[in-house]
Chain A
Amino acid sequence: MQSFEFVRAQDASAAVAASARSNTAQQGASVRFVAGGTTLLDLMKLNVERPLQVVDINRLPLDKIEPLPDGGLKIGATVRNADLAHDPIVQRDYAVLSQALLAGASAQLRNMATTGGNLLQRTRCMYFRDTSMPCNKREPGTGCSAIGGANRTLAILGTSEYCIATNPSDMNVAMAVLEATIHVQGVKGVRSIPFTDFHVLPGNTPQRETVLEPGDLITHVTLPPAPPGSRSFYLKLRDRASYEFALASAAVVVTVADGKVARARMALGGVGTKPWRSTEAESLLTGQLVGDPAFRRAADAALRDAKPQSQNGFKVELAKRCLVYALKQATQSA
């Protein structure tokens, strides 16, 4: 860990101004916001993140969950995961989000981790976290140690020859199917980013994980109203029963009418380099009779482009079973 300056932002503009001086908003940023610190402080202790300045945004008024006039929900960036998971509106209208949050980490971590921070959660790839190893995400151009190394937990979708790191967030998978919008205040004012556009594929620049630029402060996330009659479900599969990142997870929001799927949103976690929404599987399932054959076809479509590594071939089938089971849970005796 290296020495750094710690400052507390008095308002959002001050935070934006501080961050705007950073060289990048991605890996290697010289200025970092800290909220819960559950990712950032770990990585600083490991020398993976070496910011010169850390800007505390915990005092900013971004910790509210507010219903929107259109029936949607506004979630402040510093709302803690535990508060969000136990919010009665979230539990009623966005069950998949509550379930995903509670499947993540531990009670202690959920008490600290925030909504904005979770959007930016970094990969658990062991090579990213070990500065003695080559890693294109941490040090561009050094190579990917995970390809040919310990890659059992890593991604099979959206990978490149430069990086196969998994996006580890549970919350993100739910946000993907809820079609969240991320609201950012930056040097040029405020803007909103559809969830699917927020994370980027690694390609040959795996150090870049989102569309954020220096100065960008995530202020809140909005969710559209829950589709009438829809049901949602989150299933997380892992080795042990608790406190482990997903080997595969699935978030689904499904509306059934007359025994057929009227609307479906599906996303996978633990298998993609970003939260992996499959619009192809969604359209394939729409209009189909509820049941295993259609669910299985959708799952096959979602995993069609999977590229397993030496140790994670089982994730293809595991992710399919995960998605099929989640769809069954969301549609049974509806």
Chain B
Amino acid sequence: MPATRQATLSVIGKAQPRVDGPLKVSGKAMYTSDHNFPGMLYAVPVCATIANGEVQKIDTNAAEKMPGVRAIFVRNTIGKLFRASEGVAFDAEMSHVDENRPPLEDDVVRYYGQYVALAVADTFERASAAADAVKVTYSSRPPNVEPRLAPETNQKVESERGDAAKAFDAAAVQLDQTYDLPPETHNPIELHASVAVWDGTAFTLYESTQGVVNHRNVLAQMLGVPKENVRVVSKFLGSGFGGKLFPWTQSALAAAAARQLGKPVKFVVSRRMMFQSVGHRPRVTQRIRLSATRDGKLTSLRQDWVNHTSILDDYKENCGEATPFMYSVPNLRVTSAQARRHVGPPTPMRGPGAVPGLWATESAMDELALKLGIDPVQLRLVNEPKIDEGLNIPFSSRHLKECLSTGAQKFGWEKRNPSVGSMKRDGLTLGWGMAACSWIAERFAFAASVELRDDGTARVSTATQDIGTGTYTILALLVSERLGLAVDKIEVALGDTRLPPGPLSGGSMVTASAVHAVTEAAAKAIDALLATAAKAHGSKFAGRKASELEYTNAMVHAKGESASSGMPFADLLRAGNLQSVSGAGSSQATFGSASKPKFSSHSFGAQFVEVTWQPEIARLRVSRVVTVIDAGRILNPLAGRNQIEGAVVMGIGMSLFEETSYDPRNGAPINSNLADYIVSSNADVPSLDVHFVEYPDTHLNELGARGIGEIGLAGVAAAIANAVYHATGVRVRELPIKIEDLIV
């Protein structure tokens, strides 16, 4: 039995500024490329300038003679690099990499920017100049970067019930449309970087990674050394958006170069390379077929999607993630397929699958509402399911209807005139649109340790990482809540594979996964402390039973007596001549589990958007966004709001600006910089309303917390496209929505 304590929450649910904020604003937070070592060398790759062909010859003569150059590595000089085996469990043994081919494995070039050689020199500038001086001769074939996608490989039925084709043909109202999403590049402001240190036996790898444990497991295999000989450190990230979930080839190259040269090697991926060789959200085309009765009851839903993937890797953008359970519909069929292109391997980007999927299905729901003459909010309400009809199990906690009604009320939706272009303000035409959204609510395996220390502080440690979302702060809150110890007395140690194995920062799952593990670890540390209290000579409770003791606000006291009659944690430890006591805790993974769940766990939300439109100058701007989210209990409302707001900003970019353009002739991502790849600027973002409907989902963990990192993006694109239609009468089914789509 864990120690008992009062059940009232003291810090959970209250606004807590980032505990790592002072480190970040003072420049003391060490990001990967901030790590420097004596004798460190700099690596700069030679990037292929073709997307399809072979390397015929690499002339390194001139480059090798340049000042400060230590080596120009090519395929047969970099040393042996192995492939990593696929370990699919989302636990400490996880081993996944989206680009499975080790760098320089063969002479075939399969995407533009693929590394074909590596220059290493004593300064970054000299390494760059040397890389520029390497002359590569290719035999080149035309690349296939064709934007129109047709199913080529791996056609698969993802979910099916009833007979969707038959129901569609028989239906009173039908909709059949195709929705396209271009490739998007993650573009976290912190560039991918690797700093590798080799001591002759073991590697220490400083990495910008969203998963130190997976990164360690993969790199140990690629480098051919035991896992215990690789330590991966990632203390702070300038975000990742999914692009840093899995190792990219610069990591193995930096480590291999460090081993070959016996010096630390730093490899920072340039902004241009960020568009080439570290993943992207793939291009997706989705055909959506909906049918309904005249009163708006869905009778069938079909979603058939194709996403592009690279030549060697089978990346599936799981666009059907939310489709089977979003609405009640008796006949449904969801299929997936891929089409190979000469592009770098795609990888998850914030809200993978669901975000592109909901862009299509929620646009289609809006189009269906128009056909039916039913309000779009009402159409969703009348199709609310009682259970998850895809899995035939109840929802753990679903409050989409409340999100829809609360959002409509806060937005003022009842004042909407559905007629296109009819609403005006200050000489501008208004468009009002909305969409529903959803995201998975699951857990990864999570191990944590909590120590109580004789200086009155506690330390919680786990090998997950904070990618900028607030994990340091959440873990401090969880420990504070359990111990009754002030947040500033809690040290949080993350981002190091020497710590108990923690999960990827992905899928919005870290917080939900941490709750039980951290709480259990803290409880066990308390148990150890009470045992000490019951026997240490200097303890005022020496000789009593531990079961007669309890604790309040970091004070141990006898049950039924006041906290002030007790002894502080630290005094008890000193009494026992203990520097610390500790406890370990763990959570089990639900994600990836083979067993059928008892409950369908998802977060839900509704997003309402106002756009302004000035046809006389073709100017479209987003002027209001209201988001209502059902994500269980919100542990830190500051971080929660921040995540949703950031996702909406990203959604504005996805809807109106973002698109990676591949040159049709050589396959280069041609707009590979932040001036030509347009993302939202501050001026594009209006004030954002964020509301949470808080129903703790205790099926997932005892606090009822789900994840909030991704869901805020999931409805934005459809809501904006729907608002644009309402303002302009133009239905855009291919993102981003551009001026040329609207200038008619």
The bracket for how many chain B residues form the interface is 20 to 34
Q: Is A130 an interface residue (CB 8 A)?
A: yes
| Residues of chain A contacted by B682 (CB below 8 angstroms) | 242
State in angstroms the CA–CA spacing of A37 and B663 once bound together.
29
Q: Mark B107-136, 1 if CB is under 8 A from A, else 0.
A: 000000000000000000100110010000
User: Which of B125, B617, B656, B657 has most A Cβ within 10 Å?
Assistant: B617
Asked whether, in the complex, the Cβ of B675 is within 8 Å of the Cβ of A245, the reply is yes
Q: Is A201 an interface residue (CB 8 A)?
A: no
User: Which residues A33-47 have CB closer than 8 A to chain B?
Assistant: 47
**Given known A-B contacts A132-B49, A133-B666, A318 and B618 have beta carbons under 8 A apart:** yes
Find the B residue at minimum CB distance from A321.
B617
Asked whether, in the complex, the Cβ of B740 is within 8 Å of the Cβ of A240, the reply is no
Q: Mark B729-744, 1 if CB is under 8 A from A, else 0.
A: 0000000001110010
State in angstroms the CA–CA spacing of A127 and B665 once bound together.
12
| Residues of chain B contacted by A2 (CB below 8 angstroms) | 129, 132
**Given known A-B contacts A1-B125, A317-B743, A240 and B617 have beta carbons under 8 A apart:** no
Q: Is A139 an interface residue (CB 8 A)?
A: no
Q: Is A69 an interface residue (CB 8 A)?
A: no
| Residues of chain A contacted by B619 (CB below 8 angstroms) | 237
Q: Is A235 an interface residue (CB 8 A)?
A: yes
| Residues of chain A contacted by B221 (CB below 8 angstroms) | none
Asked whether, in the complex, the Cβ of A239 is within 8 Å of the Cβ of B739, the reply is yes
Asked whether, in the complex, the Cβ of B665 is within 8 Å of the Cβ of A318, the reply is no
**Given known A-B contacts A240-B681, A242-B682, A314-B739, A321 and B670 have beta carbons under 8 A apart:** no
Asked whether, in the complex, the Cβ of B663 is within 8 Å of the Cβ of A239, the reply is no
The smallest beta-carbon distance between A318 and chain B, in angstroms, is 6
The smallest beta-carbon distance between A148 and chain B, in angstroms, is 7
State in angstroms the CA–CA spacing of A240 and B681 once bound together.
7
Q: Is B414 an interface residue (CB 8 A)?
A: no
| Residues of chain A contacted by B681 (CB below 8 angstroms) | 240-244
Asked whether, in the complex, the Cβ of B617 is within 8 Å of the Cβ of A239, the reply is no
| Residues of chain B contacted by A124 (CB below 8 angstroms) | 675-676
Find the B residue at minimum CB distance from A235.
B617
The smallest beta-carbon distance between A55 and chain B, in angstroms, is 21
**Given known A-B contacts A149-B665, A150-B670, A239-B738, A325 and B678 have beta carbons under 8 A apart:** no
Asked whether, in the complex, the Cβ of B671 is within 8 Å of the Cβ of A148, the reply is no
State in angstroms the CA–CA spacing of A153 and B738 once bound together.
12
| Residues of chain A contacted by B128 (CB below 8 angstroms) | 1
Q: Is B680 an interface residue (CB 8 A)?
A: yes
User: Which residues A211-248 have CB closer than 8 A to chain B?
Assistant: 235, 237, 239-245, 247
Asked whether, in the complex, the Cβ of B621 is within 8 Å of the Cβ of A241, the reply is yes
**Given known A-B contacts A150-B663, A317-B743, A325-B617, A244 and B668 have beta carbons under 8 A apart:** no
Q: Mark A1-43, 1 if CB is under 8 A from B, else 0.
A: 1110000000000000000000000000000000000000000
Asked whether, in the complex, the Cβ of B132 is within 8 Å of the Cβ of A240, the reply is no
Instruction: Determine the main DSSP class of A at the interface with B.
Output: loop
Q: Pick the residue among A149, A241, A247, A314 that contacts B664 (CB under 8 A).
A: A149
User: Which residues B629-666 have CB closer than 8 A to chain A?
Assistant: 656-657, 661, 663-666
Find the B residue at minimum CB distance from A316.
B743
Asked whether, in the complex, the Cβ of B129 is within 8 Å of the Cβ of A318, the reply is no
Asked whether, in the complex, the Cβ of B618 is within 8 Å of the Cβ of A237, the reply is yes
| Residues of chain B contacted by A153 (CB below 8 angstroms) | 676
Asked whether, in the complex, the Cβ of A239 is within 8 Å of the Cβ of B678, the reply is yes
Q: Is B426 an interface residue (CB 8 A)?
A: no
| Residues of chain B contacted by A247 (CB below 8 angstroms) | 739
Asked whether, in the complex, the Cβ of A130 is within 8 Å of the Cβ of B657, the reply is no
Q: Is A159 an interface residue (CB 8 A)?
A: no
Q: Is B88 an interface residue (CB 8 A)?
A: no
The smallest beta-carbon distance between B178 and chain A, in angstroms, is 21
Asked whether, in the complex, the Cβ of A240 is within 8 Å of the Cβ of B657, the reply is yes
State in angstroms the CA–CA spacing of A150 and B147 once bound together.
14
Chain A residues within 8 Å of B, Cβ to Cβ: 1-3, 47, 124, 126-127, 129-130, 132-133, 145, 148-150, 153, 235, 237, 239-245, 247, 313-314, 317-318, 321-322, 324-325
Chain B residues within 8 Å of A, Cβ to Cβ: 49, 125, 128-129, 132, 616-619, 621, 656-657, 661, 663-666, 668, 670-671, 673, 675-676, 678, 680-684, 738-740, 743
Given contacts A241-B684, A242-B682, A321-B617, 18 further A-B contacts (CB under 8 A): A1-B129, A1-B132, A2-B129, A3-B129, A124-B676, A130-B670, A132-B666, A132-B668, A149-B670, A240-B657, A240-B683, A241-B683, A242-B683, A243-B681, A245-B675, A247-B739, A318-B739, A322-B617
| Sample of 28 A–B contacts (CB below 8 Å) | A1-B128, A2-B129, A3-B129, A130-B668, A132-B666, A145-B665, A148-B664, A148-B665, A149-B664, A150-B661, A150-B671, A153-B676, A239-B656, A240-B656, A240-B678, A240-B680, A241-B681, A242-B684, A243-B681, A244-B675, A244-B678, A244-B681, A314-B739, A314-B743, A317-B743, A318-B618, A321-B616, A325-B616
By Cβ-Cβ distance, the 10 closest A-B pairs, closest first, are A314-B740, A241-B683, A242-B683, A132-B49, A242-B681, A150-B670, A241-B684, A325-B617, A150-B661, A126-B670
